[in-house]
């Protein structure tokens, strides 16, 4: 039925057949109301079943995206192709998405039959799920073309990165609704399959009863802060049928809401950008984790993690329990990373650790029933069946690395990139929003250099800074109040060492600078008592302060968020009258152009990329 992988000599797939075993204990005992049948429900089950309705239900399930995805059989050659990351590229037209947003679609280079199967999918929510969860059906019906397309992409079980997320009800809330519908649909169908197999005859084919993994958690939702988790769980609750029970809800609201922050948020309202308010407007604690078990009419919060269907956590909060319970992530079928750009500002390395730890065969399988495990779990191929979804407001190199290096879904992967022309105009920020601010237009110089690849980019960038921009900073009195912007902490540390070596007059602010020192340094810079302010992107991300006194800007690399560039340039333009400030941006010709496009427009970015370093 499946071919064992030759590269896995310890494969568990060669176990002898056995009678159908019972499901994992916690799989069938989720909820006393639903999983322990009452006498009435037992009597109902004992009645004759209409064979036509039964066969219709089986046919509907067999044709579902859920079943087609998880029951597919991959050959060794297909597995090797997927693991090598060999893909074909093609464009894809999606209703509601325009321009660049839907221009890259990658399929695994597998057999023609596999590609035909992908092309013919008509993906949607399960009919049983829609008929039972009426609020979910109504929510899905009101999504509109754009978000209905996104929901179909999710329910098609392809890997996905979307880099067009915006705060507010028209984007962030709709995206959250789409992935909550999808994960709830997935968990509902998983539970339905397990319960059906539990009640199957002992004479059934043992291979047809494989429906589980090494651990119960099937879905992991990674979020940056508690406020995001609160919104996600509240969205899940809103999709449940009328009369559904939610256990420990009062405790959840007590721990994830933050009443003390509301007054601060009200005081700040209108002074901070919408994306800052979304992340830091309420409970911004980034150390949390929550286990959730899903039953027919019950949502159980704070369940033990190995007894949970869904885990909602921050990367920081999940790190400890993954080390303590290595089996926890072994059976993930759905990984969703929302607000990936905010998580990247915290610590992207933790995300990579989680992705690399997921879907490994555990040394200790615990109470797992190996005779109910799907064979691709036993063969070590689970990562090829895991759907990974990354949702971000911007495109950044680490996200591209995750897309290219860790998304190996056999059904392919799709990247929806931002439509910068629609957001900022054809000329980008410099030709649009920043063209008529203060003493504008801003005089921007793109200083290009070439690196041989990401591994050498840091060294090449520092060499280009020494050769091309350090002489500019040495000019002394002619060039005053220069803000030097470092996209990462490592960049900030390199620049601080260079400025010290040159004995230049500067002060430095990073995310680790105490608040009183940061305020003092800003005052010195504003009054012109220091000529250069070295400033880290993460400090700006966490504080978004209105720096005063900027006369010139030097970006060591394009900012991760175009909004950061706009905010700092507006401050410089407002303070630099009567002459426009000078601005220099150090750009790697090989890797930085996705970050340059929103600044100067896609066409101009393409021209600069083709021209290369001067």
Beta-strand runs (E) in 206-357: 219-222, 245-247, 289-294, 298-301, 310-313, 334-337
Measured in degrees and rounded to the nearest 5, phi and psi for residue 254 equal: -65, -40
Q: pTM for this one?
A: 0.85
Instruction: Compute CA distances 174 → 97, 167, 181, 340, whole Å.
Output: 14, 10, 11, 16
| DSSP code, position 257 | -
CA distances from 129 to 181, 303, 334 (A): 10, 23, 18
Domains of the chain: 90-197+212-362+371-418 (3.40.50.300), 424-611 (3.40.50.300)
- Mean pLDDT in residue range 405-418: 85
pLDDT band at 1 (very low <50, low <70, confident <90, very high): very low
Integer Cα distance of 505 and 499 in angstroms: 8
d(CA 137, CA 149): 15
Whether the per-residue pLDDT at 326 is higher than 50: the answer is yes
CA atoms within 13 A on the CB side of 123: 24
pLDDT digits (tens, 9 = 90+) for 127-183: 666 666 667 777 777 788 888 888 888 998 989 999 888 888 888 999 999 999 999
3-state secondary structure of 84: coil
Q: Could you tell me which residues come within 8 angstroms of residue 21 by beta carbon, excluding any fewer than 6 positions away?
A: 369, 371, 372
Alpha helical stretches, state H, 158-310: 172-198, 226-238, 249-256, 259-268, 274-280
The Cα 2–Cα 324 span in angstroms is: 32
Q: Is 386 helix (H, G, I), strand (E, B) or coil?
A: coil
Which residue(s) pair with 162 in the sheet? 391, 416
What's the pLDDT score for residue 465?
94
Predicted confidence (pLDDT) per residue in 557-591, tens digit: 999 999 999 999 888 888 766 666 788 898 887 77
Find out whether 588 and 608 touch, Cβ atoms under 8 Å.
no
Q: Residue 288 — φ and ψ, nearest 5°?
A: -155, 160
Element (H, E) at 103: none
Tens of pLDDT, residues 380-408: 999 999 999 999 998 888 998 899 889 98
């Amino acid at each position: 039925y499946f071919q064992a992988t030759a590269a896995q000599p310890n494969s568990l797939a060669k176990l002898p057949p056995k009678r159908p075993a019972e499901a994992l204990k916690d799989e069938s005992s989720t909820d006393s109301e639903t999983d322990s049948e009452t006498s009435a429900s037992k009597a109902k089950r004992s009645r004759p079943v209409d064979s036509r309705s039964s066969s219709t239900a089986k046919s509907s399930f067999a044709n579902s995206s859920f079943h087609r995805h998880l029951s597919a059989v991959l050959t060794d050659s297909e597995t090797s192709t997927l693991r090598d990351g060999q893909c074909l590229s093609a464009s894809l037209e999606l209703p509601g998405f325009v321009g660049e947003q839907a221009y890259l679609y990658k399929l695994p280079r597998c057999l023609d039959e596999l590609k035909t199967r992908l092309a013919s999918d008509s993906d949607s929510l399960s009919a049983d799920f829609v008929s039972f969860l009426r609020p979910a059906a109504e929510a899905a019906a009101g999504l509109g073309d754009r978000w209905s397309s996104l929901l179909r992409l999710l329910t098609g079980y392809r890997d996905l990165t979307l880099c067009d997320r915006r705060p507010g009800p028209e984007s962030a809330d709709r995206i959250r609704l789409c992935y909550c519908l999808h994960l709830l649909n997935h968990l509902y169908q998983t539970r339905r399959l397990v319960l059906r197999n539990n009640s199957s005859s002992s004479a059934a084919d043992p291979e047809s009863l494989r429906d589980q993994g090494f651990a119960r958690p099937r879905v992991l939702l990674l979020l940056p802060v508690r406020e995001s988790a609160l919104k996600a769980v509240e969205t899940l609750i809103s999709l449940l049928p009328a009369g559904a029970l939610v256990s420990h809800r009062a405790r959840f609201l007590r721990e994830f809401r933050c009443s003390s922050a509301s007054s601060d948020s009200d005081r700040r309202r209108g002074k901070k950008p919408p994306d800052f308010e979304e992340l830091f407007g309420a409970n911004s604690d980034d150390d949390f984790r929550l286990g959730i078990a899903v039953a027919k009419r019950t949502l159980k919060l704070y369940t033990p993690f190995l007894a949970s269907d869904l885990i909602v956590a921050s990367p920081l909060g999940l790190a400890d329990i993954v080390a303590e319970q290595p089996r926890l992530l072994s059976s993930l079928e759905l990984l969703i990373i929302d607000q990936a750009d905010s998580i990247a500002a915290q610590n992207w390395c933790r995300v990579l650790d989680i992705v690399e730890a997921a879907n490994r065969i555990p040394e200790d399988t615990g109470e797992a029933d190996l005779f109910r495990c799907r064979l691709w779990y036993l063969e070590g191929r689970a990562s090829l069946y895991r759907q990974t979804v990354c949702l971000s407001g911007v495109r950044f190199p680490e996200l591209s690395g995750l897309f290219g290096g860790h998304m190996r879904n056999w059904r392919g992967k799709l990247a929806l990139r931002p439509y910068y022309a629609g957001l900022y105009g054809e000329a980008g920020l410099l030709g649009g929003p920043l063209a008529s601010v203060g003493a504008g237009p801003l005089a921007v110089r793109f200083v290009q250099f070439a690196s041989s690849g990401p591994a050498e980019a840091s060294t090449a960038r520092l060499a280009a800074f020494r050769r091309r921009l350090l002489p500019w900073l040495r000019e002394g009195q002619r060039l005053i109040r220069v803000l030097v912007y470092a996209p990462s902490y490592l960049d900030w540390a390199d620049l601080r060492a260079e400025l010290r070596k040159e004995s230049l007059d500067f002060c430095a602010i990073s995310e680790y600078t105490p608040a009183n020192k940061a305020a003092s340094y800003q005052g010195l810079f504003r009054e012109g008592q220091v000529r250069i302010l070295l400033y880290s992107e993460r400090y700006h991300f966490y504080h978004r302060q209105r720096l005063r006194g900027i006369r010139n800007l030097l970006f060591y690399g394009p900012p991760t968020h175009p909004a950061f560039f706009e905010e700092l340039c507006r401050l410089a333009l407002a303070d630099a009258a009567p002459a426009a400030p000078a601005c220099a941006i150090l750009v790697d010709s090989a890797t930085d152009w996705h970050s340059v496009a929103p600044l100067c427009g896609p066409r101009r970015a393409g021209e600069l990329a083709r021209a290369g370093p001067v």
